[in-house]
Amino acid sequence: MLWCVPKTRVLHRSGLLIRSKTVKMTSPLLHNRNQVMAPKKATRDESPPPSDPHGIFAGMVVFLVEDGVQNRRLQVWKQKLVQMGATIEDHLSKRVTHIFAMNPEALLQKVGSDQRGLFKGRVVLYQWLEDSLSSGKRVPEDLYHLKLESDKSSSDYISSDEETPKLKRRRSSSPDELPHTPSPKTPKAPNKDQVTALQSSTPYNPPDLNKDITQIFGKLINIYRALGDDRRSFSYYKAITVIEKLPFKIQSAEQVKGLPGIGKSMQDHIQEIVTTGKLSKLEHFETDEKVKTISLFEEIWGVGPATALKLFEKGHHTLDDLKNEDSLTHSQKLGLRYYEDIKQRIPRHEAQEMELLLQKAAEDVLPGVVVVCGGSYRRGKSSCGDLDIVITHPDGNRHKGFLLKYVKHLKDMKFLREDLVFVTHSEEGTDSGVDTYYGLCTYPGRELRHRIDFKVYPRDIYAFGLIAWTGNDVLNRRLRLLAESKGFRLDDTGLFPATHGSGGKRGAKAGASLKFDTEKEVFDFLGFPWLEPHERNL
């Protein structure tokens, strides 16, 4: 059985690239289809392969907490442990050096407090085993340590034979608390297997002590993305996800040697940054004519990496060069025409006035509708680049068809001026029923254009839309990666159990989204510490 990295996917800026860790495991339980049906020859010896006394797990005596682990995956892990030198115990004896568990709930149910108090070894997540197998060597255990501060942690869970285990709900101070009537067709509470797979050892709270490195790598991600080199862009993306979780300040590349996603060239970059405070590769890119031109063209609304590269290859180097370019779409021409307008940031007091205008106009069209200005405005910034407007209706139904009437009303008011994108799905029931409008608006009494986006969500997935469109990008990336590590896919339309797509690629959505009323419930379920909107400027 093979888990591998899904194909690179670029989303709108309200979200980030999503990837899962590459873990390669070959299972003896899976065979070629023709071989499965063929008669099996009798053999005298069907014992498993001998253990390698010098394997990467040599000297380890492990006790496996099997709760929450798929049987097929458990058998593969057992085989690999034994083949690579470990010994597996069927009970927690004094010989055991390591306990593996999926989450604290599984550990609490299997190993009593008295036994845990006497145990002197390490308790680690199964993810350590996956990452070690992937890299071909033991990765540092500190990043995977499953720590229980006290037995009181068990009080954070409700579990019985009759009830679905779930995190206790705490009152949220988030402004997204709205009246909600759960749909009878889709149960809001996740099932037991989903909860067991999701609960994490501790809240996901990366210390992010190495911003000097991750910020430079972040710039390289954008540069390679602009150049259309998704492979290199993703390599820096993977490195960032590892580095930002390290519990120490990197002083030397030797400290990260052997970590997943940190190869020789990445180690060289890290060493240069910690030694000099900069990276010559980035400095070269920032002065390269091709990179500068492509980056400039990508600032035009609607122009992506592929289009920017084509324009450069046609011999264009400035915005003036593009004024007579026939290949530009209508939206791209508008982006070019109002390039300087769009670049100007909106002062907070003006954004607040426009939010109030939008809320009143929405009430005129549909009483009770909820209109929230997200993005950097909701995060409390003093200015914002555009207006990200997230909309829903508490009854879960009357949002359908609202956006068309709303846009017309705002045009009649001379607030909306030019259309860029207008897509409705709610009445067709496609694309999760999310309606979208991107356009240009003006502050009352002015002609200066500002970018504005509307997203209208059904009430049952509104919390996900509010999270995604509030940001920031760093937080969105961390939440998505955290969801992926637990077997889910997170985006602005929901939290979906992940499945294996064609070719064994992991990460496709499967079935309906889990249902949550508030942003805080999503954070709690993923095990991420709750952040008020103004605390999300990570």
Average pLDDT of span 152-171: 31
SS3 call for 496: strand
Name the pLDDT band for 156 (thresholds 50, 70, 90). very low
The pLDDT, as a whole number, for residue 508 is 52
Q: What's the rounded Cα separation, in Å, for the pair 340 and 527?
A: 42
- Cα diameter, the chain: 89
Kind plus residue range of the DSSP H or E element containing 167: strand 166-167
Of 237, 119, 248, which Cα lies nearest the Cα of 477? Answer: 237
The pLDDT, as a whole number, for residue 474 is 83
Amino acid found at 172? S
Average pLDDT of span 254-273: 89
Q: How many CB atoms lie within 10 A of CB 243?
A: 23
163-201 in b/e burial notation, b at 16+ Cβ within 10 A? eebbeeeeebebebebebeeeeeeeeebeeebbbbbbbb
Of 101-110, 275-284, 405-414, the one with minimum mean pLDDT is 101-110
The pLDDT, as a whole number, for residue 454 is 96
Known binding site for Mg(2+): residues?
386, 388, 453
Q: What's the rounded Cα separation, in Å, for the pair 104 and 153?
A: 8
Name the pLDDT band for 521 (thresholds 50, 70, 90). very high
Average pLDDT of span 491-502: 77
SS3 call for 439: strand
Is 387 buried (19+), middle (13-18) or exposed (0-12) by CB count in 10 A?
A: buried
Q: What's the rounded Cα separation, in Å, for the pair 514 and 492?
A: 12
Known binding site: residues?
386, 388, 453
The pLDDT, as a whole number, for residue 295 is 86
The pLDDT, as a whole number, for residue 192 is 38
The encoded tokens of residue 435 equal 């309606």
Amino acid found at 242? V
Q: Report which of residues 467 and 233 the model is more confident about.
A: 467
Q: How many CB atoms lie within 10 A of CB 511?
A: 9
pLDDT tens per residue across span 291-316: 889 889 988 998 888 888 899 989 99
Phi then psi for residue 444, to 5 deg, are -50, 125
The pLDDT, as a whole number, for residue 182 is 43
pLDDT tens per residue across span 115-130: 777 788 888 888 788 7
The pLDDT, as a whole number, for residue 8 is 38
pTM: 0.58
Mean pLDDT of the chain: 77
The encoded tokens of residue 497 equal 């159990």
**Is 269 among the catalytic positions?**
yes
Of 463, 396, 398, which Cα lies nearest the Cα of 182? Answer: 396
Kind plus residue range of the DSSP H or E element containing 422: strand 416-423
> 71 preceded by cis ω (within 30°)?
no
Catalytic residue, chosen from 269, 316, 393, 399, is 269
What are the structural domains, with CATH classification, of the chain?
61-135 (3.40.50.10190), 211-287 (1.10.150.110), 289-343 (1.10.150.20), 346-457 (3.30.460.10), 466-535 (3.30.210.10)
Whether 36 has a pLDDT exceeding 80, the answer reads: no
Of 106-110, 280-284, 379-383, the one with minimum mean pLDDT is 106-110
Average pLDDT of span 128-156: 62
Of 62-66, 105-109, 320-324, the one with minimum mean pLDDT is 105-109
Of 451, 447, 460, which Cα lies nearest the Cα of 521? Answer: 460
Of 39-53, 128-142, 289-303, 455-469, the one with minimum mean pLDDT is 39-53
Half-sphere exposure of 522 (CA within 13 A, CB side): 35
Whether 164 has a pLDDT exceeding 90, the answer reads: no
131-160 in b/e burial notation, b at 16+ Cβ within 10 A? bbbbbeebbbeebbebebeeeebeeebeee
Name the pLDDT band for 431 (thresholds 50, 70, 90). low
Of 372, 359, 469, which Cα lies nearest the Cα of 415? Answer: 359
The pLDDT, as a whole number, for residue 196 is 39
Q: What's the rounded Cα separation, in Å, for the pair 104 and 527?
A: 12
Average pLDDT of span 210-236: 86
Name the pLDDT band for 334 (thresholds 50, 70, 90). very high
Name the pLDDT band for 233 (thresholds 50, 70, 90). confident
Q: Report which of residues 23 and 274 the model is more confident about.
A: 274
The pLDDT, as a whole number, for residue 365 is 95
Query: Beta partners for 458?
Result: none
Q: Report which of residues 503 and 87 the model is more confident about.
A: 87
The pLDDT, as a whole number, for residue 428 is 65
The pLDDT, as a whole number, for residue 340 is 94
Whether 17 has a pLDDT exceeding 80, the answer reads: no
Q: What's the rounded Cα separation, in Å, for the pair 311 and 337?
A: 17
